Amino acid sequence: MHIIIFGAPGVGKGTQAKILSEKLNIRHISTGDILREAVKNQTELGMKAKSIVENGKLVPDDIMALLIKEAVTSKDSSNGFILDGFPRTLNQAQILEPILEEIGINDLIFIQIKADDDKIIERLSGRRVCSNCNFIANIKLLKDQNRCPNCGLENTFVKRKDDDEEVVKRRLEVYNSTTLPVLEFYKGKVSLIVVDGMKSIDTVSNQIMQELDSIGN
């Protein structure tokens, strides 16, 4: 099974990708992870990407696409993959298409996790990271808002810069203007699953599994 998972920041993409990867026994390919891996393993592409990042620039789409190509053609992906974080622009989608074609992937499934901007902002405004154990929690969902449910310590929660309301709003703007066109690119070309990302983690993943089932049949 070959899946692209897609959605705005804060919608739970990474969480769902991880769950699906386990349930379906397919590889979770996150762009952040493969980039870090390539740098760590000092591959040719990794070294190239490293020097670009060290110069304060973004890794260009063509290098990122080659890293994706390495990942999707590796043995770990022989059972399938779920792509998380790519493509996030129309240009990236256009670069990815011939790569997947070349390796004979013609059963791509596109999963969009949907949510309204204001609900995402509301959800992220409650997100905190435990400075002791790095556990991520939404304090709005906790009985004791000062105690980390993972390590049990009190007053360890900090708010990440990324979750600041103004930062979130800007990221959503970028998503809406730059990333959302990717959805239009795939509409009508591949199987499309749309789920409501504001439901509970279990509800979302169960719904995705059901829809995947009905595509398979």
Catalytic residues: 13, 88, 127, 160, 171
Counting contacts by CB under 5 A, is residue 133 touching Zn ion? yes
Counting contacts by CB under 5 A, is residue 148 touching Zn ion? yes
Question: Are the CB atoms for 35 and 50 separated by under 8 Å?
Answer: no
C-alpha closest to that of 88 among 10, 157, 179, 177: 179
Phi, psi (rounded to 5 degrees) for 137: -135, 155
Report DSSP state, residue 154: B
Counting contacts by CB under 5 A, is residue 142 touching Zn ion? no
Residue with smaller CB distance to Zn ion, 151 or 215: 151
Encoding tokens for residue 153? 């310590």
Enclosing H/E stretch for 198: none
Q: How far is the CB of 38 from Zn ion (least distance, A)?
A: 31
Cα–Cα distance for residue pair 14/7, rounded to 1 Å: 10
Span interacting with Zn ion, options 7-15, 22-30, 113-121, 125-133, rule CB under 5 A: 125-133
CA 106: distance to chain centroid?
21
Strand locations in 56-211 (E): 81-84, 108-114, 127-130, 136-138, 157-158, 191-196
Q: How far is the CB of 152 from Zn ion (least distance, A)?
A: 7
Q: How far is the CB of 154 from Zn ion (least distance, A)?
A: 10
Residue with smaller CB distance to Zn ion, 65 or 130: 130
> Which residue of 73, 94, 150, 191 would you call a contact of Zn ion, by CB under 5 A?
150
Report DSSP state, residue 165: H
> Which residue of 37, 73, 135, 191 would you call a contact of Zn ion, by CB under 5 A?
135
**Per rule CB under 5 A, count of chain residues that contact Zn ion:** 7
Counting contacts by CB under 5 A, is residue 130 touching Zn ion? yes
Counting contacts by CB under 5 A, is residue 132 touching Zn ion? yes
Q: Which residues bind Zn ion (CB under 5 A)?
A: 130, 132-133, 135, 148, 150-151
